[in-house]
Structure 1
């Protein structure tokens, strides 16, 4: 490819080459959009991922020599070699970020996109699987063919550079260098096509079909199967938090979830009646175990009316009274809904009548605005109007096809089977975006009818931009093995590295026993009666307490805390201890959530986000930061004699405190952590200011109670405390309070900044803090009698410690 012409327009720099045209469009000083086409004109289709107002007015210049063209903003310099069209990306100071191979890195190969067309008379066969109902139509009536392209974008990554992102995948790879990944949606695979580099940049691929990432013997590139043109964004940091902020500028901010969504959620496969739901919550209250959410899994509908969005009147005789009873006990209800419906239930017949179904006459067309609106109408009338608080949009990759049989298919076979099934009913250019559009319908539907309840949508798939629809993605139907638990950690970290902030896992794994199917592969046939499973569950639970959503779920065995022992027994007492710890940390966690929404923050953090200068952290796949203060090191192997030992790396550049004992350690060192079942290795960064709330039973209890503030000396640090009414969208109008708390280590002074924001319901305008220097471990520090009480009513306050 040779550059033969250069034209600057007010919007972009357009390059004509011997093989097509390229457009380089500055979206912000730190963001460039690159489009490459072989057509006469650049495409005009609306992006599903990028928001309409993503582009900011940006000053840029360009210069042309005999050999190259260079475009510059205040933060980026992009050089294009004329002889080959190869791109080199540098920051404004000239530091190399990344580059394409010298021969050039962009390839478009003509391909044919095939879209099937069905009519309502097509013969449809339905089957049931562990993963729900599936419907298959006979041969399509006709096909539509159009010209498209395979695209390939190649890179030459630097030695020592680490790459993260691409979503949540089950293989457990943290640093993506030296690996490959098939990017298509399926159970245990949630795709977000974003790469983030420790060199201080990210790449967002605006593409919705099958993709393949490679950094192996075949090359270093991302390939897409069906696109009209190549379209991607280059985002400069250099801080990885700033890369995330750039991604959310492009694709939308993440709304704030309600406060209760950060508490504990109890689920299993499945609660079957109104009485059972109420009884479980009542048992939690009687045992004084904190809880905020109870979840109703599939088959809330009548009989075999799969996907009907209403309650079976025999098992749920008075759903409005049910939700009122749960609300009176300060618990919320989440209900599972599916995109697939059949057996001529009311929802199915209505959707069919309104022509809102895809070709299998069972899956609703989430790409149709009319069908999305009808789907929401059905969910509202059948569930939301009865007081349901949240959605579990299950099976958001509705054409998955390999969850059957006793033998797991090879990765390439799985790719072909699953994408082939999707392409029977969806345009191949959009098979990865179903969950994005489904989530859009739920979010826009609920926002249109009320501002009193924040949207919460737990969904198994994800895509670029889906965070703007208040979704939480979980890692799918895992099997109970220690290796599975270990792999969950990098799966979640790579997901949040893309800029999608809310991720979780089925605590204890979904499948616990072993059966004939390849996926039903747990190691514990006796479930919660097996002491070995109890230990795995406990370790998963301790990890789950430091995830954005804290949720137990699965099949084969009950999941309530009391199924794992009784008071006085180690497992039971430790489960209760960690639930209570989660609730005591809610002022910290909700402040992190406020930063996610207001500052494009990231709650669960790969270590490279906070320690970019420490090369050791780049390959660590079993530790992570939870906010700026905490270093979480889950136990991912069984104990010996009730004790576990694991090596922990304490990142360089700071000192660390053992959360439980208060022991102080130097950074840049490995330590061997020895702990019983009662704890996991957990450390606090020097300079941290950690707000601790009261011991409560639900997230909205005792909101005006004093907070303890623990200061960990040894470095400067701080936190921005965040409060609002806990639900509703008043925060979008400024109804919240933010208070900057800054620790100056040299002067031993803590400064409470001015309280910012507007009053909100329940806001007294003041808060009492009991400030303590950390002295020993967490419990010892809280018990210390030397707290300094601060009444903060909005004006700045300085405090000497």
Structure 2
């Protein structure tokens, strides 16, 4: 049975029982080629029924999940509507052509340039109403890998009717729009980037200092001052575009790149390509000869990636020679806006498309760029650069939500300016909290402006903040095995590294309200602290929702009871920090000193890490630390890749017994690899650490209630110690806490007598920790 329902000027194509393409063309000409958005329309057979000239409608199409009604003529709200078969709203779940779904959960934006705080987010394809529409009318077709003008259709788009099956919807979006490529393993480590006039030696010394501080850096970015900016004759105009090394700062660029390679750095150079290649550039003579330009008259090579000849010279004569010398990929800092003509594709699309494909060809199928989001379909060209954000708490508070919603349009590899880029003021707590978010973000790229005081080097901060920054940067590097496994999962299984909570709990209202909380891979849930410390308590707070089950904080080993029928959690009486909702029995305010943020693992979670914090991110480690958070049953498949080869290590825990199995067809795992297990909240013969190899197993014993209570007391004691409140008030709180361990004192009731709202929250958090033990 055909999946196409067509008339002289319309065409409906069913891709799945939940996804349909809607086309109208007054000429009767329809587009069958791939487009900027679409890479595949062959989804196989679809069960549906069709009626023509029925009940006054020209066409009706019905599947199990939607019913389309069309009355003929150019698509409009008056003649085309679709009923989605979901009961998420009081009235019918009906979409009229051209109207937005009110429950859209957001997608992402091209940039956060100069945004201070929040900004409206463009729509994605996920909606609480159960349906969404994605327009593809204005995109270009792709033919033989190049953008070309498409058939002149008045309407071309896709109606998604997936209800709240968000994961299935994302997976089918990737089937439609193209898979997310594997990103190189080295990109999962720490990046150093700064807009600053480093000299060649200063930059090398900086990398050496990171090494001596035992802080791992995988990617070295050199911002725009790598090229000439000061000594260019005025007749050539702006020096934002440049392809000639600044020999004043970098007297021997080839040696500079070699030295970075000796230090195992992967290198990116910033480029603003809008100015083309002008006569002052080092590669200009070669470019002029290639393009037949009049070099004596300094005829410029105008930037135009639509021109195949310019494109050939742009890569072969300008970029490839520098890549041969050591540049791994390019930071495409395009800032010129949209194309001025409907006949020309947006330059950012051209840059992302051709640079990524070129980089992939030169790197054994693993491409990488750093560029801005150009629109739906941009996930095929990772990684995204979100722009020059302002250094404020408001900017930090927006980024977790912004990053998570990007998954709703398939854009899962955002790289933010961690720590912020411009303006702002020196705030160690803000810088640390931003770095903590960065470690649990898709890409951790530290960045700042040329201001001499805004650098993000940890040693520029006071001792405690510096130590915490160092520890988090080491943790990020140790997490590369876990991140690479999620990287492969995104590519192979269409499961994003970052997921909003509603992906896994779509029917829980709380999952939509805690907008800054998200899942980080299959095993971890992150609730970053993105607001200032309480100045009296010296503790940062975040309102979190704990889904069903039990959740362990990976930094404290404290176990929290999640939302579960029949188990009450003490209520938090204060409203949330961002004012978006009031907390209650299923939410809790979590307090943390600067040392950590809440990162929670559901009991049984298995997280592999590199043993050596200085392990090269691009090399598979010989030793792994496997963190097991509680003795609940679980199976985790850690996948690793080198080039195009993938190996899998399956770690299984069943009935308190764990085992390891390895599938390594290409032999990429180091011979004799050891897995060092660390057991959290349970032990093996009294031990929490031991080594296991493939084929061996262990059985563990859970921790006692007393151990949990002792840990909870220690956390509260630490927080009270740093609180700037009267000593007697601290003593009174501690006494109540200790009394609660031996007598039936209701700590939640006691908490309501505490005037300071955040101190009250600290007591309530503790009460929730010991209440679950009873």
Shared fold (TM-score, shorter chain, > 0.5): yes
Is 1:438 matched up with 2:351? yes
CA–CA distance in 1 between the matches of 2:26 and 2:633? 54
Q: For 2:194, which of 268, 271, 286 is the aligned residue?
A: 268
Structure 1 residues 392, 361: closer, same or farther in 2, change over 3 A?
same
Worse-matched range after superposition: 621-630 or 346-355? 346-355
**8 Å CA contact retained: 1:336, 1:394:** yes
Provide closer, same or farther for how the CA distance between residues 201 and 710 of structure 1 changes in structure 2, counting only shifts above 3 A: farther
CA RMSD of aligned residues (A): 3.6
CA shift digits 1:672-705 (9 cap, x unpaired): 2222111122222223111122132243488443
Contact 1:172/1:487 (CA < 8 Å) preserved in 2?
no
Alignment match, 2:468: 574
Structure 1 residues 30 and 368: CA distance shift in structure 2, 3 A: farther
Name the structure 2 match of 1:466: 378
- 1:37 matched to which residue of 2? 25
User: Equivalences for 1:111-260 in 2 at 5 Å?
Assistant: 153-155=98-100, 157=102, 161=103, 163-167=105-109, 170=112, 194-198=124-128, 203-208=133-138, 228-235=153-160, 237=162, 239-260=165-186
1:792 partner SS: coil
C-alpha contact (below 8 Å) 1:722/1:737 kept by paired residues: yes
Where do residues 492-503 of structure 1 align in structure 2 (5 Å cutoff)? 492-503=403-414
The 2-side partners of 1:390 and 1:239 are apart by: 36
Q: What's the counterpart of residue 434 of structure 2?
A: 540
Deviations 1:445-492 (A, max 9, x none): 2333441x83221113332222223x2112211111111111122222
- Give the corresponding residue for 1:105: 96
TM superposition shift of 1:154: 1.4
1:775 pairs, out of 673, 681, 701, with 681
Q: 1:430 to 1:750 in 2, by over 3 A?
A: farther
Provide the residue aligned with 2:315 in structure 1.
376
Aligned partners of 1:656 and 1:667 also within 8 Å: yes
Cα distance, 1:23 vs structure 2 = 1.7
Moved more, 674-683 or 268-277: 268-277
Question: For the residues of structure 2 that align with 1:272 and 1:258, how far apart are their CA atoms?
Answer: 27
Aligned structure 1 segments of 4 or more residues deviating by more than 6 angstroms: 97-104, 171-174, 348-353, 360-363, 781-784
Whether the 8 Å contact between 1:772 and 1:786 is mirrored in structure 2 is: yes
Change (3 A) 1:55 1:702: closer
When you count helix as a share of all residues, which structure comes out higher? 2
Tell me the equivalent position of 1:586. 480
Hey, what's the Cα distance between the residues in 2 that align with 1:254 and 1:282?
A: 34
Q: Give, in angstroms, the shift of residue 602 of structure 1.
A: 0.7
User: How far, CA to CA, are the matches of 2:395 and 2:602 in structure 1?
Assistant: 29
Aligned to 1:145: none
Alpha-carbon spacing, 1:772–1:508, altered in 2? closer, same or farther (3 Å):
closer
Q: Secondary structure at the match of 1:289?
A: coil
Q: Residue 80 of structure 1 corresponds to which residue in structure 2?
A: 69
CA distance in 1, matches of 2:447, 2:4: 50
How far apart in 1 are the matches of 2:124 and 2:309? 30
Question: TM-score, normalised to structure 2's length?
Answer: 0.74
Structure-2 change in CA distance of 1:276 and 1:447 (3 Å): same
Q: Does 1:324 align with 2:261?
A: no
What whole-Å deviation, never above 9, does each CA across 1:711-735 have from its counterpart, x for those lacking one?
A: 233754432201122xx3xx2xxx2
Instruction: Check conservation: 2:104, 2:124, Cα contact below 8 A.
Output: no
- Inter-partner Cα distance in structure 2 for 1:166 and 1:636: 20
Contact persistence 2:104–2:128 (CA under 8 A): yes
- Where does residue 42 of structure 2 map in the other structure? 55
1:88–1:98 contact (8 Å) kept in structure 2: no
1:393 Cα deviation from its structure 2 partner? 0.8
- SS of residue paired to 1:628: coil
- Larger fraction in strand: 1
Q: If you compute each CA radius of gyration, which structure gives the higher value, 1 or 2?
A: 2
Distance 1:456-1:271 versus aligned 2 partners, 3 A rule: farther
Output the CA distance in 1 between the equivalents of 2:310 and 2:419. Answer: 36
State whether residues 610 and 621 of structure 2, in contact with CA within 8 Å, keep that contact through their aligned partners in structure 1: no
Q: CA 1:366–1:30 in structure 2 vs 1: closer, same or farther (change >3 Å)?
A: farther
Q: CA deviation at 1:335?
A: 0.7
Q: How far apart in 1 are the matches of 2:464 and 2:596?
A: 11
- Name the counterpart of 1:418: none
Aligned equivalents of 2:677, 2:459: Cα separation in 1? 38
Name the residue aligned to 2:213. Answer: 287
Matched, 1:645 2:534: no
Partner of 1:673: 590
- Aligned counterpart, 2:692: 790
Question: Alignment partner for residue 307 of structure 1, among 241, 264, 273?
Answer: 241
Measured against aligned partners, the alpha-carbon deviations of 1:546-572 in whole angstroms (never above 9, x if no partner) come to 111101111123424244236xx1111
Unaligned runs of 5+ in 1: 1-8, 107-152, 184-192, 211-225, 400-421, 513-521, 525-529
Q: Tell me by how many angstroms 1:772 deviates.
A: 4.1
Of 459, 483, 490, the match for 1:596:
490
CA distance in 2, matches of 1:787, 1:25: 57
SS at match of 1:383: helix
Q: Distance in 1 between matches of 2:684 and 2:385?
A: 34
| 1:404-459 deviation line (CA, Å, top 9, x unaligned) | xxxxxxxxxxxxxxxxxx45xx324766x4322211111222333441x8322111
Counterpart in the other structure of 2:649: 739
Cα displacement string for residues 131-175 of structure 1 (whole angstroms, at most 9, x for unaligned residues) = xxxxxxxxxxxxxxxxxxxxxx21555xxx45221436657999x
Quick one: structure 1 residues 445 and 692, their matched pair in 2 at CA, closer, same or farther if it must change by over 3 Å?
A: closer
Residue 335 (str. 1) matches residue 269 (str. 2): yes
In structure 2, list runs of 5 or more residues that go unmatched: 73-77, 141-150, 233-238, 294-298, 564-585, 701-774
Q: 1:283 to 1:436 in 2, by over 3 A?
A: same
**Cα separation, 1, equivalents of 2:128 and 2:161:** 11
Alignment check: 8 A CA contact 1:593 1:603 kept: yes
2:577 is matched with which residue? none
CA apart distance, 1:103:
9.7
**Post-superposition offset of 1:299:** 3.0
- Pair 1:504-2:504 in alignment: no
What CA distance in whole angstroms lies between the structure 2 residues aligned with 1:616 and 1:42?
A: 44
Q: Deviations over 1:744-770 (max 9, x none)?
A: 4xx234354x5345214x434664323
| Inter-partner Cα distance in structure 1 for 2:369 and 2:25 | 37
TM-score, with length taken from structure 1: 0.72
Matched-pair contact (CA < 8 Å) for 1:490–1:621? yes
Question: Aligned-pair distance for 1:391?
Answer: 1.4
* Equivalent position to 1:759, from 666, 681, 692: 666
Q: How many residues align?
A: 638
Distance 1:717-1:480 versus aligned 2 partners, 3 A rule: same
Greater Cα offset, 684-693 or 301-310:
301-310
Q: Distance in 2 between matches of 1:55 and 1:87?
A: 24
CA spacing shift, 1:500–1:40, aligned 2, 3 Å: same
Residue 620 of structure 2 contacts residue 669 of structure 2 at CA under 8 Å; is this kept in 1?
no
- Distance in 2, matches of 1:536 and 1:70, equals 56
Question: 2:749 — aligned with what?
Answer: none
CA distance in 2, matches of 1:63, 1:686: 49
Change (3 A) 1:234 1:370: farther
1:750 to 642, 658, 662: 658
Report the Cα distance in structure 1 between the residues aligned to 2:68 and 2:179, rounded to whole angstroms.
31
Between the aligned partners of 1:454 and 1:784, the Cα distance in structure 2 is: 45
Q: Contact between 1:363 and 1:398, CA under 8 Å: does it hold in 2?
A: no
Contact 2:630–2:681 (CA<8 Å) still a contact in 1? no
- Larger CA deviation: 704-713 vs 605-614: 704-713
Aligned to 2:4: 12
